[in-house]
Amino acid sequence: MREPPSENAEQLDENDLFIIRTAFEEQIIPRLKLYNARIGTMPCDFAGERYGKWLLYFRSQGETFEITGFEYDEDVSSIDL
């Protein structure tokens, strides 16, 4: 069972980051490789509905991808990969 995000909705704690990074590696990186992505921004709802207001910035790093930052945005909308 996943833990809820930290009480301050505009801050991610270490547990939140672990959940998002793990889901990114398992679910998103294979799709990014399929689409030959290099750099981008996407909502974090893939890690759970509770992270849907967070944006993740990423870039390619050799054969994989790295997360370069996060941003909280009340107006973010979901995308379907």
Each domain of the chain, given as residue ranges in start order, spans: 14-72
Residue 57 and residue 69 in contact, taking contact as beta carbons nearer than 8 Å: yes
pTM (2 decimals)? 0.82
* pLDDT at residue 81, as a whole number: 58
* pLDDT at residue 4, as a whole number: 42
Average pLDDT over every residue of 22-29? 97
CB burial of residue 22 (10 Å; 0-12, 13-18, 19+): exposed
* pLDDT at residue 76, as a whole number: 83
